[in-house]
Amino acid sequence: YRSSCVFLDPGQMTDLLFTEKDLVTSLKDYIQAEENKLEQIKKWADRLDVLSAAAMQDPEGFLGHPVNAFKLMKRLNTEWAELENLVLKDMSDGFISNLTIQRQFFPNDEDQTGAAKALLRLQDTYQLDTNTISTGDLSVLTVDDCYDLGRVAYSEADYYHTELWMAQALRQLDQGETSSAVDDVTVLDYLSYSVYQQGALERALEFTKRLLQLDPAHQRANGNLKYFEYQLAKQRKVEVNKREEPESRQKREMGGRSNDYLPERKKYEQLCRGEGIKMTPRRQSRLFCRYYDNNRHPRYVIGPVKQEDEWDRPLIVRFHSIVSDKEMDKVKELAKPRLRRATVHDPQTGKLTTAHYRVSKSAWLGAYEHPVVDQINQRIEDITGLDVSTAEDLQVANYGVGGQYEPHFDFGRKDEPDAFEELGTGNRIATWLLYMSDVQAGGATVFTDVGAAVLPKKGTAVFWYNLFPSGEGDYRTRHAACPVLVGNKWGESRTRTRFSPQGPTKTEVIQ
């Protein structure tokens, strides 16, 4: 079975690295075999070259010797046939066979496009310019790579990113980088159209003229030149009549990122970059760290847990050292074979479906499946005082590079009466979010309504209530998982989903 969305799964990505390493070894073996074959042919050719040179000095005298006559007959009748067989011998069988076997595990077009989109997502969220990404210390993007990223954006009618990456490809070509697949004309063709689509006619005209200097017979560019000149003249006439402000014209000519479907995207990305709302010193002074025993719970009277206030309104708390490395490893081990593209509830159909705003893989673990899962569930119940028997199964999530979950609520709103019908549960009272890995960069959990940002820390769990005691949803708990910039993020969550005397929760494990 080959899972889709390979780029979301660091485990599968790691396997692919080893697969590629094996293929490189196989390729080197093939090269060595070809070199050995050519070496044999070369020795044979050199030997005959010397023999022919000597024979041609006096052909009749050479053939007058019976041994030379015999060997000529032998060579032409036998040895040249052997050489022919050697030349025709295919040394690639082993390599091709290995490649064919491994190809079934290769990523497909969807994976490549998904990985490209992840890179564009990181570029926007963390405000990374194309040159910084392309010429990074650890990994360098070639002209072909930049061109392919631009092509992915173009296929999505994302002309903003098309322009950024085609411009980077052109910049690297101008700096002398060579490519067998991409040339200036092709890149300029995409550039002129992408900036035109953003309303920057003058720049579109500049790129078109530069293209025609390289290829005067380019049919589409010649047509575009006339069209752009006509549209620009028409636009300038309107500007004169309307006296357009210079700032407005400059903004239009510079293009820019299009309005996104997500109204709060700007705030979400700011929080992910650490540019969130800063608490006043007075508010911050009311946040505490404490040893917590949940009203002298028998399991925690002697060994209370460390609790830290992350935010005050709504109250978001973090429990430290809540699970051991051994327990986290076991949860990951149980989850890995089941990881599938994460789904969301579609309010239109009432069904669970994949979505472009939730980019991760997840798996569900029941308490009956392993004692470790049962132990974690019991710990959640003991610490929160909530009855986990009415909670969903443990949801284990894995966010690879670029993985994210854009702003959402964990609870069902009034306009979604059947939000959790498919799960057979009620509304989600609270969320328990356990981090099972540290993340090198990115991956914060941010609350867009209040401006809170919680960083992932291995072995800790974050907890908050989604509903007020009245059962009404707390809209301040709208939150998101920021894209992972470097590393990968494992976590689990548990959400209590049915009302009971003790109340319901959601539990999620982030890996």
343 has a pLDDT exceeding 60: no
Percent residues over pLDDT 90 in the chain: 57
Model confidence pLDDT, tens digit, residues 167-187: 999 999 999 999 989 999 999
Of 488, 498, 503, 494, whose CA–CA distance to 364 is shortest? 494
- Comparing 506 with 91, the larger pLDDT belongs to 91
pLDDT, mean of residues 57-86: 92
Can you tell me the distance from the alpha carbon of 185 to that of 196, in angstroms, rounded to the nearest whole number?
17
Interval 19-39: pLDDT, tens: 999 999 999 999 999 999 999
CA pseudo-torsion sign 230, 234, 239, 240: positive
CB 196 within 8 A of CB 174: no
Spatial distance between the Cα atoms of 203 and 255, rounded to a whole number of angstroms: 10
Beta strands in 368-496 (DSSP E): 394-399, 404-408, 430-435, 441-442, 445-447, 452-454, 461-465, 479-481, 484-486, 489-496
- For the entire predicted model, the pTM comes to 0.75
Question: What is the spatial distance between Cα 32 and Cα 36, in angstroms, rounded to a whole number?
Answer: 6
Residue 134 to residue 150: CA distance in whole angstroms:
13
Lowest mean pLDDT among 119-133, 332-346, 416-430: 416-430
- With CA atoms as reference, report the closest residue to 496 among 510, 487, 507, 480: 507
Q: Is a pLDDT exceeding 70 seen at residue 358?
A: no
Work out the average pLDDT over 383-397.
87
Q: Kindly indicate the confidence band of residue 426, based on its pLDDT and cuts at 50, 70 and 90.
A: confident
Q: How far is 424 from 498, CA to CA, in rounded Å? A: 9
DSSP for 483-509 reads PEEES-EEEEEEEE-S--TT---EEEE
* pLDDT for the residue numbered 489: 81
Residue-level pLDDT at 451: 93
pLDDT exceeds cutoff 90 at 392:
no
